[in-house]
């Protein structure tokens, strides 16, 4: 996949505007597998956070991307379990500042998750 398809370029600069396109390129069956089970979702996030940490992304950079991902999921995906429904409802009820704080909390949750 060429560099223009990624959210982070070779210099480590993030392009949050590319999040929706990056998510939409995930095969629907793979997206369903990830989102169907909350433990699987946390494991997926854990692996992505570890990858971001390995290239030197800061927590703030990851939170910006997490916020864009949550915006996309809230608008384009139906919750597949009770945990996702709760997250979606919290996301929709929150202010921009509260959503950013929730993105940081989701990162910490993912950092503590173990890969499956």
Over the chain (116 residues), the average pLDDT of each successive run of 10 is 56 73 89 93 92 92 92 93 96 97 95 65
Would you put residue 56 in left (φ > 0), alpha (ψ -120 to 50) or beta?
left
d(CA 88, CA 69): 12
pLDDT at 24: 85
Domain boundaries, the chain: 3-7+14-112
Measured distance CA(45)–CA(41) in Å, rounded = 6
**pLDDT score for 61:** 92
Q: What is the pLDDT of residue 10?
A: 61
- Alpha-carbon span 103 to 70, nearest angstrom: 8
pLDDT confidence of residue 5: 52
What is the CATH code for 3-7+14-112?
Answer: 1.10.760.20
Rounded Cα distance, 59 and 38, in Å: 22
Structure confidence at residue 11 (pLDDT): 63
Q: Tell me, what's the pLDDT at 107? A: 94
């Amino acid at each position: 996949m060429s560099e223009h398809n990624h959210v982070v370029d070779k210099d480590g600069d993030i392009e949050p505007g590319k999040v929706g396109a990056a998510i939409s390129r995930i095969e629907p069956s793979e997206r369903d597998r990830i989102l169907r089970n909350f433990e699987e979702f946390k494991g997926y996030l854990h692996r992505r956070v570890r990858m971001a940490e390995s290239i030197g992304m800061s927590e703030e950079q990851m939170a910006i991307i997490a916020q864009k991902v949550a915006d996309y999921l809230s608008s384009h995906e139906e919750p597949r379990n009770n945990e996702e429904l709760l997250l979606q409802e919290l996301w929709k009820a929150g202010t921009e500042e509260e959503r950013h704080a929730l993105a940081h909390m989701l990162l910490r949750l993912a950092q503590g998750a173990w890969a499956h």
